[in-house]
Chains A and B, each alone.
Chain A
């Protein structure tokens, strides 16, 4: 039986392969960008409030910082307690055009030894976990090969 591919959060990313992007929103009045998306009110306290329009975020950014998770996180993170824990890397990425930092898991196989602050990374579609019916999809960061 094939599993259904379902985003872990609806409306945070879209597309496949090179067309994959994170989705934020932008205030039509002040141009502030929000991720995770704001859909009701602009959070800029100096803005009268405009329509919030969905916008794709930059696909590439620079590593602001990084770490890893050597121990199994608690629920609601989903992992199989019967399998040994495999650490994964977390990367905080600065998107220059949007002037914000977005956290994400690194693509499988990327370790802290592969990273440096300032290094260029790009967003890619990834799988968070699978259960009987569903492949839960997410975003991941991976180095582009351009150094710090």
Chain B
């Protein structure tokens, strides 16, 4: 088990399509997190930014961009990029600095300003880039991969499009309770079924949008938290950032093919399941200890996949778990009580940080109408391009 770090503050800029710079969203979130922590900016010893690839050079050096915008004060700085797991890797970098004694208190910030429509690869002719190739050769957008996974679940596990729609219904109802969510309207199964097919079998309301947003956390050593008067802070007990094991036999974004399993037997667990497993082992807890989970519902069907990959139920049993109401508010293991990506849309470098913000508020019992009663332990999970994924376990 790894030593813990304290979450002193959490803050967000609401998700939306605001049409402004990612820097503004990040700074608003950072100031909110600092205020929540009761710390002034000059008390921060290190800033870690989660990069965006959509903001030009300032996006690639997000840590410094946020530090300058907040007012240079001499803090140590780092910027990390890990696709959808960027925010979690930023948290992990902050944690490593704290546990190594390099910094007592660290500000983690991620923010994005998303384009309209599909995410697309960086410009230029780059035939050695798998992300460029999948668009050039196949026109394979992110939703087409989500469609492949959804159809596979239908064939192998008997999930139905009605099950998928119920994930949206659940998450939209929860998002309606969250002031930081972009979509705050309840959605009916009929509305999902009436929305346009984007990538068969998935419809527009099965697939998460791309959004503007910002999220930030103030993390510290347990000793600093005590000195600061935070006697019972939310604690981060695990940050899993494992990579896949060869051969990776699930067709992951942005690949055109899987690895071949002809020479080496695949590992017992898929990559996604191994992400959660590593977090459980680090924290010394299991799925039965969880009060809630925030998972990366890039699509409704992917939320169901996460139930199984987190061990909330057995393989193929996710739709049953959903139908029983176990993953709704008031159920045995509520999932995405924030409203999830279904209600937020994805703001890539901010999203994994936002998941931890939600855990923080839930574990402090400050989540208002969407509070999970008695929440004590929570997990986040996500997966992104190029072998990135993360899971964070927090407790109080």
Give the distance in Å from the alpha carbon of A70 to the alpha carbon of B197 in the complex. 7
Q: A31-B263, A32-B263, A66-B148 in contact; A102/B257 too (CB < 8 A)?
A: yes
| Closest chain B residue, CB of each to CB of A12 | B137
- B118 CB, nearest partner CB in chain A, Å: 5
Contact A100 B258 (CB under 8 A): yes
Contact A118 B155 (CB under 8 A): yes
Q: Which residues of A are in contact with B by a Cβ distance under 8 Å?
A: 8-9, 27, 30-36, 43-47, 64-71, 73-79, 88, 90, 92, 97-105, 112, 116-118, 128, 138
Query: Which residues of the partner chain B approach A69 to less than 8 Å between Cβ atoms?
Result: 139-141, 144, 199
Comparing B55-63, B127-135, B229-237, the segment that makes contact with chain A is: B127-135
Q: A67-B147, A68-B199 in contact; A100/B132 too (CB < 8 A)?
A: no
Contact B262 A67 (CB under 8 A): no
B264 within 8 A of partner (CB)? yes
- B residues contacting the other copy or chain, number (CB 8 A): 47
Contact A70 B256 (CB under 8 A): no
Give the distance in Å from the alpha carbon of A104 to the alpha carbon of B255 in the complex. 11
- Pick from A34, A67, A76: contact of B135, CB under 8 Å: A76
Q: A71-B198, A75-B120, A100-B260 are in contact. List 15 more A-B contacts (CB 8 A).
A: A27-B263, A32-B247, A32-B262, A33-B263, A46-B264, A68-B200, A69-B199, A78-B136, A100-B262, A101-B249, A101-B258, A102-B257, A103-B140, A104-B138, A118-B155
Give the distance in Å from the alpha carbon of A8 to the alpha carbon of B135 in the complex. 12
- B194 CB, nearest partner CB in chain A, Å: 15
Contact B118 A138 (CB under 8 A): no
Contact A67 B127 (CB under 8 A): no
Contact A33 B260 (CB under 8 A): yes
Contact A112 B200 (CB under 8 A): yes
- B196 CB, nearest partner CB in chain A, Å: 7
Contact B155 A97 (CB under 8 A): no
Give the distance in Å from the alpha carbon of A54 to the alpha carbon of B17 in the complex. 48
Query: Which residues of the partner chain A approach B263 to less than 8 Å between Cβ atoms?
Result: 27, 30-33, 44, 47
